[in-house]
Amino acid sequence: MQPTADRVLVVMPAFNEEASVSDVIAEVRAKAPSCDVLVIDDGSRDATTARAMGAGALVVTLPFNLGVGGAMRTGYRYAREHGYRAAIQVDSDGQHDPGSIPALLAELDDGADLVLGARFAGEGEYRVRGPRAWAMRVLAAILSRSARTRLTDTTSGFRAAGPRAIALFADHYPAEYLGDTIEALVIASRRKLVIRQVPVAMRPRAGGTPSHNFAKSALYLGRAGIALVFAYLRPRSAYEEATA
């Protein structure tokens, strides 16, 4: 086994994903065999933990549901404690294609601290239309400015973090809804991390459909806006590395 300093951790937050989690783990192990797989069972009430262990992943079981933000912070803490050089978030519902992991890693090796897998940058079939698409475009425009790079898909959960991003997120990954994607980007850009995006193919979700309902989209934009405004308003000291 290689020392962890050269190794990559795939972090999979999972909440009631017993149906898909073992297939996704198997696919990650097949397409990115050198990575360690850590599943964060976010307080599931089904057999997610057992299925993930059965598929050969490391499993951290949270005592109750913390949301994606809490699950991911746990993953970043694990990565920091064990000295991984990269942590890659992959959803356990099979929406992210593990085949894109090498592309994300290549961008990290090229000097980026945080790499987003962007869903609409050319590859794949995944499309969002209507008000939700406009909301995402507005977010992308604002976040592109503070990240000093062109981002088209700021709410993508498919992302890779290098050592600087891992150290930052282990202490400051936000728990609020939408905070995990939007606010995390603001935190990273305010701490001057290098953010890039690479196009990834995205498969449609296994279960459930993204909403195109107008009221829901308005609510989504509202909450995203609030998350964004407060992320910028927060004092700089809120994002400093913990001294402990």
* Identified binder of other proteins from the candidate list 50, 58, 121, 133, rule CB under 8 A: 58
CB of 70 to other proteins, least distance (A): 5
63 touching other proteins, by CB under 8 A: yes
- Calpha distance 103→31 (Å, rounded): 12
Residues 159-188 contacting other proteins, CB under 8 A = 175
Q: Do you know the residue count of the chain? A: 244
Instruction: Tell me if 11 contacts other proteins by CB under 8 A.
Output: no
Among 5, 30, 81, 141, which residue sits at the site for other proteins (rule: CB under 8 A)? 81
Give the residue with the Cβ less far from other proteins, 40 or 185.
Answer: 40
Site for other proteins in 14-53 (CB under 8 A): 40
Query: How far is residue 69's CA from residue 5's CA, in Å, rounded to a whole number?
Result: 25
Q: How many residues bind other proteins (CB under 8 A)?
A: 16
Segment near other proteins (CB under 8 A), from 76-84, 113-121, 199-207, 218-226?
A: 76-84
Distance of CA 16 to the CA centre of its chain: 18
66 binds other proteins (CB under 8 A): yes
Site membership for other proteins, residue 227 (CB under 8 A): no
Q: Which of 110, 73, 130 is nearest to 198 (CA)?
A: 110
In the complex, the smallest distance separating the C-beta of residue 57 from other proteins, rounded to whole angstroms, is 11
What are the φ/ψ torsions at residue 10 (nearest 5 degrees)? -95, 120
Q: Is 74 a binder of other proteins (CB under 8 A)?
A: yes
CA distances from 163 to 40, 41, 109, 173, 189 (A): 20, 23, 11, 14, 15
Q: According to the binding rule CB under 8 A, does residue 197 interact with other proteins?
A: no
Stretch that binds other proteins, among 24-32, 72-80, 134-142, 151-159 (CB under 8 A): 72-80
Which residue bears the tokens 């009430």?
Answer: 45
Q: Which stretch binds other proteins (CB under 8 A): 77-85, 96-104, 128-136, 147-155?
A: 77-85
CB-nearer residue toward other proteins: 78 or 220: 78
Min CB(53)–other proteins separation in Å: 10
Could you say whether residue 61 binds other proteins (CB under 8 A)? yes
Among residues 54 and 122, whose Cβ is nearest to other proteins?
A: 54
In the complex, the residues that contact other proteins under the rule CB under 8 A are: 40, 58-64, 66, 70, 73-74, 77-78, 81, 175
